[in-house]
Structure 1
């Protein structure tokens, strides 16, 4: 018998059911009321948006464009995380390197994303490589900045202790360094995922023949607001699913050592 049952303590409902679900319902009610009050096609109701999304789903174009965008997001996200993490850890662990190249990182962080996209398309053409490169260049500095702070916060005394006792580098990396860097890595991944897909949509809008961004541009040309909202909500749902079923479990798993 579980402790809660033994003490006759009522179980609390899951957080999403107790707090998030009523909040989402309130948002839908507000959306519906606003649409009814405005009564204009440029502000469709939730049901009209769902109907439009279902029609595009049955037609097959929603899944095809969603898959194209997800592929670009996955590749760009992977490259940005690897490159940004390597740069951030290197700068965080070396004060001379940070003094020399820290200014470069500041410039990269403040470079407008639109400028990078246009330059990549001009220099490399309207190609998939240019699109992925533009997103990676925009995302990697954010990862580097977060990982640099995480690397700076590493317990130096603990690292020195492992050197004194001759602990292998692989064991130090796996059991000392990575657990301490995990919160920074998760934070950069969470922020990066939201940032990456937004940049990918703009890249697609500017110069790709498919994807959510391309389709949103098409809907805009025909003032199809329901289509824009349907496509946007479909992709947001996918990103939230990734956050809920992938990033959050990894975060809980990597954070167990703190509670031990």
Structure 2
């Protein structure tokens, strides 16, 4: 019975994207306007752009920037969140900083970095990292606060080595918070990188969408958007979900 429910859920989930394309096709047929292209027209544009190599180069630039900003923000955010979660004094001292970082508009950070550092790759990645880090820090701070101190005390009483204690007790408890930070962070970074590329860059998906916007080329905009979303969805299904099942499998055991 349980297996049948799982199979049914899988089929329903698999039908989600085809249903979206069907709705898109019907709406495009109803609109019947050059500014509302059909999925077929957009897919044809994707093929054309991919064969001309512009699409692949722009995707590579955007994904590279997103990857660097993601690694930097996760590393810094985990370190800050861990420190704030363990030291109440630090948390009280820097809580206002975190609050400002969470609420300051991303566009302000991007413009300030571009003015100070120029329209450079480093400025773009730094701006994305600054916007993402506070979110990771807050999530990890709550994760450290939620640690079961009883397990830590038990491990210390039995003189469990530090590295083994980290692997068996601390890391499994913190991994749900790390994965939550990673998933929410990725969804935020994808968007911010594109916006910052529109503001100023020498290439990338956002840069190319800005060019198409100036020419009112909605087919090109949707082609780049769809190609980029395909990469994001593939990353979710083939990287994040298997990683989540592998890391958090002990919770269903």
TM-aligned CA deviation for residue 241 of structure 1: 1.1
User: What is the alpha-carbon distance in structure 2 between the residues aligned to residue 88 and residue 95 of structure 1?
Assistant: 11
User: What is the alpha-carbon distance in structure 1 between the residues aligned to residue 234 and residue 21 of structure 2?
Assistant: 19
User: What is the alpha-carbon distance in structure 1 between the residues aligned to residue 51 and residue 9 of structure 2?
Assistant: 30
The aligned counterpart of 1:222 is 215
In structure 2, the CA distance between the partners of 1:109 and 1:254, relative to structure 1 (3 Å rule), is same
Alignment of 1:35 with 2:32, yes or no, is no
Give TM-score, length-normalised by structure 2.
0.95
The aligned counterpart of 2:118 is 125
Q: Which runs of 5+ in 1 are unaligned?
A: 1-7
In structure 2, the CA distance between the partners of 1:69 and 1:10, relative to structure 1 (3 Å rule), is closer
TM-aligned CA deviation for residue 253 of structure 1: 1.2
The aligned counterpart of 1:259 is 252
In structure 2, the CA distance between the partners of 1:9 and 1:103, relative to structure 1 (3 Å rule), is closer
Counting only pairs closer than 5 Å after superposition, residues 22-171 of structure 1 correspond to structure 2 as: 22-171=15-164
TM-aligned CA deviation for residue 259 of structure 1: 2.9
TM-aligned CA deviation for residue 25 of structure 1: 2.3
Which of 243, 247, 252 is the equivalent residue of 2:236? 243
The aligned counterpart of 2:194 is 201
User: What is the alpha-carbon distance in structure 2 between the residues aligned to residue 37 and residue 259 of structure 1?
Assistant: 47
The aligned counterpart of 1:20 is 13
Q: Which runs of 5+ in 2 are unaligned?
A: none
Aligned length: 253
User: What is the alpha-carbon distance in structure 2 between the residues aligned to residue 99 and residue 88 of structure 1?
Assistant: 13
User: What is the alpha-carbon distance in structure 2 between the residues aligned to residue 228 and residue 203 of structure 1?
Assistant: 16
User: What is the alpha-carbon distance in structure 1 between the residues aligned to residue 160 and residue 8 of structure 2?
Assistant: 42
State the secondary structure of the residue aligned to 2:36: coil
CA deviations 1:124-156 (Å, max 9, x no partner) are 111111000000000111111111111110001
TM-aligned CA deviation for residue 16 of structure 1: 6.8
Q: Structure 1 residues 88-97 or 205-214, which shifts more?
A: 88-97
Task: Give structure 1 regions of 4+ aligned residues with deviation exceeding 6 angstroms.
Answer: none
User: What is the alpha-carbon distance in structure 2 between the residues aligned to residue 34 and residue 226 of structure 1?
Assistant: 15
User: What is the alpha-carbon distance in structure 2 between the residues aligned to residue 114 and residue 48 of structure 1?
Assistant: 33
User: What is the alpha-carbon distance in structure 1 between the residues aligned to residue 156 and residue 168 of structure 2?
Assistant: 14
User: What is the alpha-carbon distance in structure 2 between the residues aligned to residue 66 and residue 9 of structure 1?
Assistant: 40
User: What is the alpha-carbon distance in structure 2 between the residues aligned to residue 112 and residue 22 of structure 1?
Assistant: 37
Which of 172, 179, 182 is the equivalent residue of 1:189? 182
Which of 210, 214, 225 is the equivalent residue of 1:232? 225
